């Protein structure tokens, strides 16, 4: 309206209305400004067109609003009431009626999300100016003209394209449109139709779009499919780039479809026969098979039996020689060897091989020289974990296990490495031989008689003896007696009120308790009060008997030395 007031001031309008109609005109209260009517041209003047719009009155429209149209008397046109306050005369607008009608149509199109055609006029910053109707323009952002990036902006100027209104502001008469939305919708519709047409097991052709470390993305047309590295080849060590080239087309088989997420899993190796199916019909346990060494590790070697199928030759199956520590000592990569099939795991598709079984197990011959209960001298080969025991080498390729419990009758050694070193000789006897598991269990204490029953009679509770302090701990003092140095005597701190003892001191002790299970004897320092207890509970006959046993044991111990 501000525009109209500036363009058509009251004096000019009054002059023109009086000149055109030359009669008194009264106000028309039934019509309002901005109403739109269908009018009929009744006169065409130099500057104005007179229009009858159905209220027995006429209004005028500036002739320049029809400059792009050929008009004649009786033509019907839509007009808008611009002003009615000039002595009942009406100023009309054909252009504004068309504009308003266009905006109404645009609003309907926007609400219904229908497409509209637009003519690209020219480029502007960030996009294009597009004409939708004769007098309505809008903005098309460069990012909304196509799915991919635009390389040539001038290509689209002067073209008519389908658009969708994505934003509208009627107050400032601003419109933003998009062509990309239509393309996206078409792509989604086509994608859905395409996915619905796919089936697992169907062979499809696609172009390699991208190669990554864990597989290949394949352009199938409307969507991309993923070929995982594990589905490229039956061979284990294959890289995607060694098989496929970017941009090249290949055939694949569909092995999985997720319609909700629009994902397709492809297979390439599945187009060929699984070599495992070929191998499983050719081999059986005990059969000799040839292959090439493809990899060597500390625990064994992998032998390629067919393309894509490998068998495991474990280091324990390479040689009967127990001194063979790693597979690399015997097998080399690319070496051609023949092996014996010892196991076939059909579920995990694994074949286990052996090389040593071409020869007879030497254990069966060696063990004939050894007998249970006999004394042998071996070499400490290994100290087992957690002080479990010692591994003893009897001769080449023959080993036995000496458990901790079979080392001594009188003590359990909690730190074997403190008393035994690898390479030391040790006397043992064979306790058991298991031909099936090839295990030999050895004993050391069994070479000596168990004197515990005799010792516990000598060192029975309330008896008095002498001992030498060998160790002082936080909670106790440990003593040895000359009868047997493996025997230990414990004095706890509660009996040591005035502890002035040192390692090497010889003291008299009074036996409190004897533990048969752990072969331990608990004592306390002897004092004068203990004498009374001894006299009350012992007889001279008992004491004589103990002295006899004690001398007998000392004599046998000296012989063993």
Question: What's the residue count for the chain?
Answer: 561
443: alpha, beta or left, given left = phi > 0 and alpha = psi -120 to 50? beta
Q: How far apart, in whole angstroms, are the C-alpha atoms of residue 461 and residue 204? A: 92
Question: Which of the four pLDDT bands, split at 50, 70 and 90, describes residue 379?
Answer: very high
Neighbours of 120 (CB within 10 A): 21
Question: Which of the four pLDDT bands, split at 50, 70 and 90, describes residue 529?
Answer: confident
CA distances from 471 to 440, 485, 489 (A): 36, 13, 11
Instruction: Decide if pLDDT at 546 tops 60.
Output: no
Domain containing 286 equals 275-358
Domain for residue 104, yes or no? no
Domain for residue 193, yes or no? no
Structural domain count of the chain:
6
Same domain for 172 and 245, yes or no, is no
Q: How far is CA 526 from the centre of its chain?
A: 70
pLDDT in tens, 473-514: 888 899 888 877 778 899 988 888 777 888 999 988 999 999
Same domain for 520 and 541, yes or no, is yes
Instruction: Decide if pLDDT at 6 tops 50.
Output: no
Same domain for 88 and 6, yes or no, is yes
Same domain for 475 and 546, yes or no, is yes
Q: How far apart, in whole angstroms, are the C-alpha atoms of residue 353 and residue 343? A: 7
Reported as type and span, the H/E element at residue 513 is: strand 506-515
Q: How far apart, in whole angstroms, are the C-alpha atoms of residue 473 and residue 395? A: 41
Q: How far apart, in whole angstroms, are the C-alpha atoms of residue 182 and residue 198? A: 24
pLDDT in tens, 92-116: 777 777 777 777 778 888 887 888 8
pLDDT in tens, 243-295: 999 999 999 999 998 888 888 999 999 898 888 888 888 888 989 999 999 88
Q: Is the pTM of this model over 0.85?
A: no
Domain for residue 404, yes or no? yes
Instruction: Decide if pLDDT at 3 tops 50.
Output: no
Measured in degrees and rounded to the nearest 5, phi and psi for residue 310 equal -120, 150
Instruction: Decide if pLDDT at 543 tops 50.
Output: no
- Residue 413: which CATH number? 2.40.50.140
Same domain for 10 and 80, yes or no, is yes
What pLDDT does 359 receive?
A: 86
Question: Which of the four pLDDT bands, split at 50, 70 and 90, describes residue 536?
Answer: low
Same domain for 480 and 548, yes or no, is yes
Q: How far apart, in whole angstroms, are the C-alpha atoms of residue 178 and residue 162? A: 9
Among the listed residues 64, 135, 79, 143, the one whose alpha carbon sits nearest the alpha carbon of residue 106: 135
Same domain for 354 and 367, yes or no, is no
Q: Which of 99, 126, 155 is the last residue of a domain?
A: 99
Q: Is the alpha carbon torsion for 545, 551, 555, 560 positive or negative?
A: positive
What pLDDT does 208 receive?
A: 93
pLDDT in tens, 43-64: 888 888 888 877 666 788 888 8
Q: What is the DSSP letter of 384?
A: P
Beta-carbon contacts of residue 500 (< 8 Å; ≥ 6 apart): none
Same domain for 484 and 539, yes or no, is yes
Apex 53 CA angle, 50 and 59, nearest 5: 35
Q: Which of 420, 447, 474 is the last residue of a domain?
A: 447
Apex 422 CA angle, 418 and 428, nearest 5: 90
Question: Which of the four pLDDT bands, split at 50, 70 and 90, describes residue 87?
Answer: low
Domain for residue 191, yes or no? no
Same domain for 440 and 489, yes or no, is no
What pLDDT does 52 receive?
A: 81
pLDDT in tens, 305-345: 887 788 899 988 888 876 666 778 788 889 999 999 999 88
Domain for residue 344, yes or no? yes
Give me the helices (H) in 22-160, please. 94-112
Domain for residue 105, yes or no? no
Mean pLDDT of the chain: 81
What pLDDT does 534 receive?
A: 63
What pLDDT does 57 receive?
A: 66
Domain for residue 548, yes or no? yes
Domain for residue 386, yes or no? yes
Same domain for 476 and 537, yes or no, is yes
Same domain for 419 and 484, yes or no, is no
Same domain for 500 and 485, yes or no, is yes
pLDDT in tens, 412-433: 788 999 889 999 999 999 999 9
Helix (H, G, I), strand (E, B), or coil: what is residue 455? helix
- Under 8 Å between Cβ of 1 and 37: no
When pLDDT is averaged across residues 112-134 and rounded to a whole number, the result is 85
What pLDDT does 383 receive?
A: 93
Percent of the chain at pLDDT exceeding 70: 86
When pLDDT is averaged across residues 202-215 and rounded to a whole number, the result is 91
What pLDDT does 25 receive?
A: 47
């Amino acid at each position: 309206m501000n525009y109209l007031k500036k363009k058509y001031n009251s004096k000019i309008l009054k002059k023109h209305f009086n000149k055109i109609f030359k009669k008194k005109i009264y106000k028309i209260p039934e019509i309002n400004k901005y109403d739109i009517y269908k009018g009929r041209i009744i006169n065409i003047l130099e500057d104005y067109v007179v229009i009858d719009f159905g209220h027995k009155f006429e209004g005028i429209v500036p002739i320049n609003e029809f400059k792009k149209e050929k008009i004649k008397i009786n033509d019907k046109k839509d007009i808008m009431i611009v002003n009615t306050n000039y002595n009942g005369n009406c100023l009309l607008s054909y252009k504004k009626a068309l504009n308003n009608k266009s905006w109404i149509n645009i609003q309907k199109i926007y609400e219904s999300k229908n497409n509209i055609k637009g003519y690209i006029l020219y480029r502007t910053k960030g996009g294009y100016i597009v004409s939708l109707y004769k007098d309505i323009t809008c903005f098309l952002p460069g990012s909304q003209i196509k799915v991919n990036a635009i390389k040539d902006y001038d290509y689209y100027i002067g073209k008519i394209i389908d658009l969708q209104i994505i934003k509208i502001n009627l107050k400032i008469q601003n419109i933003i449109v998009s062509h990309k939305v239509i393309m996206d919708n078409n792509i989604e519709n086509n994608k859905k139709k395409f996915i619905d047409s796919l089936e697992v097991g169907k062979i499809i052709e696609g172009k390699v779009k991208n190669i990554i470390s864990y597989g290949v993305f394949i352009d199938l047309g409307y969507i991309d499919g993923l070929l995982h590295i594990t589905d490229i080849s039956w061979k284990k060590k294959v890289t995607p780039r060694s098989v496929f080239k970017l941009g090249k087309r290949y055939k694949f088989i569909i092995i999985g479809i997720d319609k909700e997420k629009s994902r397709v899993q492809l297979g390439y190796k599945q187009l060929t026969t699984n070599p495992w199916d070929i191998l499983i019909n050719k081999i059986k346990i005990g059969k000799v098979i040839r292959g090439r060494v493809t990899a060597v590790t500390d625990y064994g070697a992998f032998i390629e039996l067919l393309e894509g199928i490998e068998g495991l030759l474990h280091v324990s199956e390479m040689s009967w020689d127990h001194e063979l520590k790693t597979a690399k000592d015997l097998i080399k990569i690319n070496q051609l060897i023949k092996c014996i099939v010892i196991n076939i795991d059909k579920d995990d598709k694994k074949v286990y091989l052996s090389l040593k079984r071409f020869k007879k197990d030497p254990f069966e011959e060696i063990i004939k020289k050894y007998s249970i209960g006999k004394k042998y001298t071996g070499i400490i080969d290994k100290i087992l974990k957690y002080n479990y025991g010692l591994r003893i080498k009897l001769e080449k390729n023959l080993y036995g296990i000496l458990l901790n419990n079979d080392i001594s009758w009188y003590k359990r050694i909690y730190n074997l490495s403190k008393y035994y070193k690898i390479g030391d000789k040790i006397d043992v006897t064979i306790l058991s031989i298991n031909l099936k598991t090839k295990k030999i269990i050895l004993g050391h204490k069994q070479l000596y008689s168990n004197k515990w029953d005799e010792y516990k009679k000598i060192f029975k509770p309330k008896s008095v003896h002498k001992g030498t302090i060998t160790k002082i701990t936080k909670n106790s003092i440990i003593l040895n007696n000359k009868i047997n140095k493996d025997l230990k005597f414990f004095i706890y701190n509660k009996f040591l009120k005035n502890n002035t003892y040192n390692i090497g001191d010889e003291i008299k002790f009074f036996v409190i308790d004897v533990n048969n299970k752990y072969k331990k004897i608990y004592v306390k320092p002897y004092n004068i009060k203990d004498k009374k207890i001894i006299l009350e509970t012992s007889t001279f006959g008992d004491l004589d008997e103990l002295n006899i046993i004690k001398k007998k044991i000392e004599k046998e111990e000296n012989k063993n030395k």
